[in-house]
């Protein structure tokens, strides 16, 4: 049993691993846009878990979703601990690449059906 920040008790089956250390409930619901964006982040993960994408990069990979929808979906996924925001990213050539989002291990497990 774990106790969340509201003092409510939960069984271990209700909690998934999380990057931030906060428990992630297995009852997380995603809308279709969030699901498409998370699939893009999971499938686009590069070497050793490095797979950050800008909003434009996600737009090119997700059948041309609107940038505003992608932005909302990424921020929502980050609040749900299924994605993580990264800033100050650099390319392999040592050039600044800005910021982006990547899937967390919990996000990958959610898409792969292990959650």
- CATH code of the domain in which 67 resides: 1.10.10.10
**pLDDT score recorded for residue 9:** 40
Residue 75 lies in a domain: yes
Calculate mean pLDDT across residues 29-39: 93
Q: Are 61 and 70 in contact (CB under 8 A)?
A: no
Residue 36, pLDDT score = 93
Q: What is the pLDDT of residue 83?
A: 94
Cβ-Cβ contacts under 8 Å for 104 (sequence gap 6 or more): 18, 19, 81, 82, 83, 84
* Percent of the chain topping pLDDT 90: 38
23 is a domain residue: no
Q: What is the pLDDT of residue 71?
A: 96
Backbone phi and psi for residue 105, each to the nearest 5 degrees, phi listed first: -55, -35
What angle do helix axes 67-79 and 32-43 make, rounded to 10 degrees? 80
Using CA atoms, how far apart are residues 107 and 89, in angstroms rounded to an integer?
21
First vs last C-alpha separation in the chain: 18
**Which tens digits make up the pLDDT trace of 88-112?**
888 888 888 889 999 999 998 998 8
Domain that holds residue 51: 30-112
Return the DSSP state at 82: S
Residue 15 inside a domain? The answer is no
49 confidence band (pLDDT: 50, 70, 90) = low
Domain count, the chain: 1
- Read off the pLDDT band of 1 (50, 70, 90): very low
């Amino acid at each position: 049993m774990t106790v969340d920040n509201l003092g409510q008790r939960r069984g271990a089956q209700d909690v998934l691993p999380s990057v931030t250390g906060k428990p992630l409930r297995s009852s997380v619901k995603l809308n279709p846009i969030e699901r498409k964006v998370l699939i893009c982040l999971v499938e686009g993960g590069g070497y050793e878990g490095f797979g950050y994408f800008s909003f434009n990069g996600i737009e090119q990979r997700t059948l041309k979703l609107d940038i505003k929808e992608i932005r909302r979906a990424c921020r929502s996924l980050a609040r749900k601990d299924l994605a993580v925001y990264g800033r100050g990213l650099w390319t392999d050539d040592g050039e600044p690449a800005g910021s982006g989002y990547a899937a967390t291990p919990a996000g990958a497990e959610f898409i792969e059906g292990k959650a």
